[in-house]
Amino acid sequence: MTFFRNILRSIYFVVVLFFETLINFLTGIDWMVISPFFLLIYYISVKSFSNHNIIPLVISGLSYDIFLSENYLGVYSILFLIVAIVSNYIQKKVQSVSYQEFLSFTFGFLIYNTINLLETDFVSFFISSLLINYLIYFFYQRTLGNRV
């Protein structure tokens, strides 16, 4: 049963990752990126972090490296795992601060965009993308409430 759950989660993660790539390709906006896969990683790492999510993250990173990336095989798998671990760690360790969620989201999003770090307009790209994605996450959280 665990095997089928990992396969279904892997397929779901890969579909969301390719959907993110498709959205950003079709919009063609250079100064901002909408990241539903990052939102998925962040939500899973903060709300229900477990070892069951490791294999789907690795498989989605490998599929991204194989089909869409020019980097070495495994770069995005490591990146996705680090985003999940750091987001969870910051969320759990900085619970006394009122802006812990935004701090955790910011560090996770910074790690998620380390590939774009050397671009000339990274600061404006990062700030606009961070605000848009955090607003999407915030409204998603408000919509779900405490039901999940």
Render pLDDT for 50-62 as a digit per residue (tens, 0 to 9): 888 889 999 999 9
Cα(9)–Cα(19) distance, integer angstroms: 15
Q: How many domains does the chain have?
A: 1
pLDDT of residue 16: 94
Residue 76 is part of which domain span? 2-144
Whether residue 148 is predicted with pLDDT greater than 70 in this model: the reply is no
Q: Find the radius of gyration of the CA atoms of the chain.
A: 15
CB 134 within 8 A of CB 110: no
pLDDT of residue 8: 92
pTM of the model: 0.89
pLDDT of residue 145: 67
Cα(88)–Cα(12) distance, integer angstroms: 21
pLDDT of residue 48: 81
pLDDT tens digits, 85-119 = 999 898 888 877 778 888 899 999 999 998 888 77
Cα(95)–Cα(80) distance, integer angstroms: 23
